[in-house]
Amino acid sequence: MKHPHTGTILQERLKTHKMVAAVKEPKYIEKAIKYKDHLSAVLLMTGTILTVKKYVDFIQSHGLPVILHVEKIGGLEMDRDGIEFVKRNVQPHAIVTTRNGIIKKAKSSGLIVVQRIFLIDTEVYTNLVKDIERIQADVIEIMPCRVPDFLNKVAKISPVPTITGGLLNSPEHAKQALENGALAVTTSNPDMWKMNLNEL
């Protein structure tokens, strides 16, 4: 199925670089920028409503798209006003969330959305498969990445690109995830950011 945002910077970088740096503390922003030639994007998981715009602007000024984890930003309520604040003031390339209500509102306001899904049991997987055609997000992120058989099945039927992360701490884990249908992997391990996954 043709994806509506295939031409975006994020989509292109996911295809070519295959790794997203999950930044959980401000001190790792510089390191992510240092390895920007190996990274698709930065998944920003730190900051408050007072600092997040500064972080996003700084990262994106270095050519790295920011995917903002809106549930991790201190003081940010993702009601209609919060979504407009993110869209107009913060201006990340995309947001990531686990919440369907936020996805719906964010999509209707024109934001690119990554839906994070935790495959904690068979019931979650079964419901995901059943509802896959109704996914409203632009990309889904399967957590954790160490469930290759489920990842493979989801990637095959998903109408949108699939990425994966969580418990990823070696090149072998990344390679296995990519071989099982992930377009890219997400990791907060700075040692992984320097690796070129195209050479695995």
Burial 10-39 (b: 16+ CB within 10 A, else e): bbebbeebbbbbbbeeeebbeebbebbebb
Per-residue pLDDT at 120: 86
Tens of pLDDT, residues 152-182: 999 999 999 999 999 888 999 999 999 999 9
Is residue 199 a part of any domain in this protein? no
Number of domains in the chain: 1
Is residue 4 a part of any domain in this protein? no
Per-residue pLDDT at 4: 43
Tens of pLDDT, residues 121-142: 889 999 998 888 888 999 999 9
**Burial (Cβ within 10 Å: 0-12, 13-18, ≥19) of residue 42:** buried
**What global pTM score does this model have?**
0.90
128: domain CATH number is 3.20.20.70
Q: Find the domain containing 77 and state its range.
A: 9-194
Per-residue pLDDT at 102: 95
Which residues are registered as beta bridge partners of 9?
A: none
Is residue 66 a part of any domain in this protein? yes
Closest CA to 155 of 175, 143, 140: 140
Is residue 64 a part of any domain in this protein? yes
pLDDT surpassing 70 at residue 7 = no
CA atoms of 171 and 66, how far apart (whole Å):
23
Is residue 24 a part of any domain in this protein? yes
pLDDT surpassing 80 at residue 6 = no
Is residue 200 a part of any domain in this protein? no
Confidence of residue 79 (pLDDT cuts 50, 70, 90): very high
Is residue 160 a part of any domain in this protein? yes
